[in-house]
């Protein structure tokens, strides 16, 4: 019996190690070439932890070859854990030039805990954070404000107590908004795939130019029933929700393909920017994904630079997911990073402070 258990554990260790290696290295491959296997990206943190747990168990029962394979798999994929779990100290002794807040406000529908929220609830929260630049996604400007859509001060800015605002649509029900204490100059991005998904403004921070991109990449658009079906996978109870599981798979696969086109264009656009750059927003993808891999080749992740703990920006029934980010370029240094415990949306807001280097 002991020999059989040892053999089963060895086979399991090999399978998990190979799955981990494939999933991790496939993040550099566009999802259209993976034919649906890109969904393994969501499992990378769990494969990594399962591999580590199996390795610890198997140290006590021996089997040098497969244990070595597990160690190699864990070491080669350790950067995937590094962007999921961060234990970097903040640099509060350094001086910050600006604070930035990004928040998907879910069209003011609130969270499961809060229910539908009022405009004043969001305004009070944003004012309390006192950030210099605020990037909002899924902002229903058309419901209560008549914005100009230009870089000059607008009703949106006045509502939140800021001097300048940039909006993606004049009367949008699901707009991107940039609020700023500093002058903004709106820049049109001539990329069809980014139309409505990326808003850019150039901020003048006391004479220093800073590109600010507010992003809301293709959503997975999962329904409550589909989210419930995903949770049932943990209990291996999929028969009751077979249709929802299938539709979830189709939606995740389709949205992954759409995001890959968006992020390819976005990364190419970012690579040509001349000034310091911050890219904020809801990317609807995890750190172990093609989307993240593509952006992080051009920019640094504020969570990796100064975050602490487990990244988790989705406030919903799904397992912990980090899908909201603040990325920064060279000549910018992250000083502090925080995921705020606000319950006004199905996302948590992210706030970071930065030094602008010469």
pLDDT digits (tens, 9 = 90+) for 242-291: 777 788 788 888 899 999 999 999 999 999 998 899 999 999 999 999 99
Q: How far apart are CA 168 and CA 46, in angstroms?
A: 38
pTM for the whole structure:
0.90
Is residue 115 left, alpha or beta, with left meaning phi > 0 and alpha meaning psi from -120 to 50? left
Q: Euclidean distance between the first and final Cα of the chain, in Å?
A: 67
User: What sign does the CA torsion over 112, 113, 116, 121 have?
Assistant: negative
Q: Which fold has domain 88-356?
A: Deoxyribonuclease I; Chain A (3.60.10)
- 36: nearest Cα among 333, 249, 208: 249
Give whole-number Cα distances, 263 to 117, 267, 290, in Å: 31, 6, 9
9 contacts 54 by C-beta, under 8 angstroms = yes
Q: Which two tokens stand for residue 223?
A: 């329904």
pLDDT means over runs of 10, the chain (358 residues):
78 92 94 88 91 84 75 90 75 83 92 84 95 95 52 70 85 83 91 90 94 95 72 58 76 90 96 94 95 95 88 84 95 94 94 94
pLDDT at 210: 97
> How far is the C-alpha of 217 from the C-alpha of 196, rounded, in Å?
9
Q: What is the CA radius of gyration of the chain?
A: 22
Q: What is the pLDDT of residue 151?
A: 42
The total of other beta-carbon atoms located within 10 Å of residue 333's CB is 18
The CA-atom distances, in angstroms, between 329 and each of 102, 276, 289, 332 are: 17, 6, 20, 6
Between strands 98-104 and 133-139, the pairing is parallel
Angle at 315 between CA 312 and CA 316, to 5 degrees: 120
Spatial separation of the C-alpha atoms in residues 137 and 282, rounded to whole Å: 7
Q: What is the pLDDT of residue 83?
A: 86
Gap between the Cα atoms of 299 and 273, Å rounded: 12
Sequence-distant (6+) residues with CB within 8 A of 75 are: none
Contact predicate 165/154, CB 8 Å? yes
Domain ranges of the chain: 2-82, 88-356
Query: Which residues make Cβ contacts (< 8 Å) with residue 11, sequence separation at least 6?
Result: none
């Amino acid at each position: 019996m002991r020999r059989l258990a040892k053999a089963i554990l060895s086979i399991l260790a090999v399978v998990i190690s190979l799955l981990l290696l494939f999933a991790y290295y496939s993040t550099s491959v566009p999802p259209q070439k993976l034919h649906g296997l890109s969904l393994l990206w969501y499992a990378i943190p769990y494969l990594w932890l399962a591999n580590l747990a199996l390795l610890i168990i198997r140290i006590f029962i021996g089997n040098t070859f497969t244990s070595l394979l597990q160690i190699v798999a864990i070491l080669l994929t350790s950067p995937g854990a590094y962007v999921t779990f961060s234990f970097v100290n903040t640099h509060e002794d350094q001086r910050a030039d600006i604070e930035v807040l990004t928040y998907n406000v879910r069209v003011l529908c609130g969270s499961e805990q809060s229910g539908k929220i009022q405009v004043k609830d969001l305004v009070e929260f944003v004012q309390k954070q006192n950030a210099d630049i605020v990037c909002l996604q899924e902002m229903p400007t058309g419901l209560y404000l008549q914005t100009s859509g230009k870089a000059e001060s607008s009703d949106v800015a006045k509502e939140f107590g800021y001097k300048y605002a940039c909006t993606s649509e004049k009367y949008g029900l699901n707009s991107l908004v940039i609020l700023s204490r500093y002058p903004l100059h709106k820049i049109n991005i001539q990329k069809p795939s980014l139309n409505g998904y990326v808003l850019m403004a150039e901020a003048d921070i006391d004479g220093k130019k800073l590109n600010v991109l507010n992003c809301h990449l293709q959503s997975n658009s999962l329904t409550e029933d589909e989210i419930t079906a995903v949770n049932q996978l943990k209990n291996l109870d999929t028969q009751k929700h077979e249709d929802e599981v299938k539709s979830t798979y189709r939606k995740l696969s389709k949205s992954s393909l759409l995001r890959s086109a968006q992020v390819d264009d976005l990364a190419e656009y970012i690579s040509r920017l001349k000034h310091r750059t911050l890219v904020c927003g809801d990317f609807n993808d995890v750190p172990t994904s093609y989307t993240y891999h593509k952006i992080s080749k051009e920019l640094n992740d504020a969570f990796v630079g100064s975050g602490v703990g487990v990244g988790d920006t989705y406030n919903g029934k799904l397992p912990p997911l980090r899908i909201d980010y603040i990325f920064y370029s060279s000549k910018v240094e992250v000083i502090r990073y925080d995921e705020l415990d606000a319950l006004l949306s199905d996302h948590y807001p992210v706030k970071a402070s930065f030094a602008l280097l010469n």
